[in-house]
Structure 1
Amino acid sequence: MSVEAAIKEKISSKKVVIYSKSSCPFCKKAKQVFQKYIKKGTLKREDYEVIEIENDPNCVAIQTYMMKKTGARTVPRVFVKGKFIGGGDQVVGKDSSGELKKLLEDQ
């Protein structure tokens, strides 16, 4: 399966998917926000997946595809219900404004 096909399949299979690097501070911010929603029960663990790409042999290909799909190759790349919603600062902003909670609750 191509990197592009694997990413498309993954982001369509979960409510929230984060492409991340474990040492990235912006990734940590985004993951902390979603952990709050898991603890509150707004987001189920099985609907949430973090894909740490730094040791993936396809890391460069993943970031190249993210550039094509989202306009940037940086991490995190956060998808909710198959749609790209931004990186770490955007996730924090959407959380603060209440927009993220609404995205997670809407069917």
Structure 2
Amino acid sequence: MGSLFSSSSSPSSESTIAKHIQELIHKYPVMVFSKSYCPYSKKAKDILSNYKLGKNYHVLELDQLSSRGETYQNELGKLTGARTVPRVFIKGKCIGGGDDTSALHKRGELEKLLRDANAIVD
């Protein structure tokens, strides 16, 4: 069985990464594309940790993907209109980044989105 990723930056590699992004955002009710050192990513992850999400929540740290992280970030830019991290998805829809997640949380709207996505484990 072959590797999911090729070492080149060919269009097929980009399409494979685009497909992987789609798979992740549809598999997990809450999906965060992050960088481990980014303060905005930390902010979003800290806010999400206030909710009991269990296996409904997944984080992919782009800085830990070696050379592929940049391609992921480029593909997320094409998909969402912004290539900054974090890119937070709830029920397949991008809600934005760290400040957006914080604003939704402060307004009480984040919990509703998480409940609508059946992401909160009771």
Query: RMSD of aligned C-alpha atoms?
Result: 1.0
Aligned with 1:53 (options 36, 40, 62): 62
Provide the TM-score with structure 2 as the length reference. 0.80
TM-score by length of structure 1 reads 0.91
- Relative contact order, CA 8 A, sep 6+: which one is greater? 1
Aligned to 1:72: 82
Which sections of structure 2, spanning at least 5 residues, go unmatched?
5-15, 118-122
Deviating 4+ runs (over 4 angstroms): none
1:101 aligns with 2:111: yes
Higher gyration radius (CA): 2
Alpha-carbon distance in 2 for matches of 1:76, 1:55: 14
CA deviations 1:26-78 (Å, max 9, x no partner) are 0000001110002xxxx2x1000010010213111111111111111110000
Q: For each residue in 1:64-106, what CA deviation from the matched residue of structure 2 results, as whole angstroms up to 9, or x when unmatched?
A: 1111111111100000000000000000000010111100111
Q: Identity, % of aligned pairs?
A: 44
